[in-house]
Amino acid sequence: MKEKNTASEEVKNGNQAQSLSRLVDMMSRLRQPDGCPWDKKQTHQSLKPYLLEETFEVIHAIDQKDMDSLCEELGDLLLQVVFHSQLASETGSFHMGEVIEKICEKIIRRHPHVFGQERIEDAQGVSLKWSEIKRKEKKQKSLFSSPQGLPALKRAQKVQQQAAGVGFDWDKVDGAFDKVIEELKELDNVYKNGEKDKIEEEIGDLLFAAVNVSRMLEVDAELAMGSAVDKFLRRLNYMEREIKKKEKDFTEYKLEQLDRLWEKAKKHGL
């Protein structure tokens, strides 16, 4: 049975390699002089919005627990990786094979407890070792860094995790909750005192404190914010539908009436 399973895995791995090779060849064909006009004019810069869009569509499919959509969206995201690799290969910078080799080498380097002799007992130890190896690879002098390419909420959570990794963190989530209340009071004070130049700073501190609570409760702040926006939109759309049923417009409704529609949307589970 073991030999049969091994043979099956080899066939599957071979098919995967074949499929990836086919996708790389197709991308190269699209970039040829007689290829696709749209694909031929793209650059790393012009593709950035699509890379971001496909990433969020993958996340949405995961949230929806839709495996068919996830399969499709992962393919779209993979296409972006292949596209950028193709552009780089045309300038002699690197090719798809190098992209794959580099990530394989990185996985081996950062998992000495799997591919080497080192022993690490738990997930926290793995995380600390990963950060240590990463810092050495990038020759970082500091334990802390701010990943500039990430959205602000995600950056905040990353930096807080780095601080927590060296013990600079609340013992309990209660301390993080108290900090949110403290920052909210400080924001209220600068607003009431007319200190407009400090309002942005205090809002930033409040959001940063809220991210701390999110992190300590093991919730991704960026995803939580995305879900909150989606919920807000669902309720707005419900309100709009209800208003249109009466052949009216938002501007014809007073705030009290809109609040009642909002509460109605909540009762409908939106």
Tell me: the pLDDT tens digits for 116-160?
888 887 877 777 777 777 777 776 666 677 667 778 898 999 899
- Topology of domain 2-110, CATH: Helix Hairpins (1.10.287)
* Global pTM value: 0.60
For the domain 142-219, what is the CATH code? Answer: 1.10.287.1080
Q: Find, among 268, 173, 263, the residue nearest to 217 by Cα.
A: 173
Structure confidence by residue, pLDDT tens digits, 153-202: 989 998 998 888 778 899 999 999 999 999 999 999 999 999 999 999 99
pLDDT tens by residue, 216-229: 999 999 889 988 99
How far apart CA 169 and CA 127 sit, in angstroms, is 16
What's residue 37's pLDDT? 96
Q: Going along the chain, which residue ranges are E strands?
A: none
DSSP string, 197-208: HHHHHHHHHHHH
Residue 265, pLDDT above cutoff 80: yes
The larger pLDDT score, comparing residue 69 to residue 10, is at 69
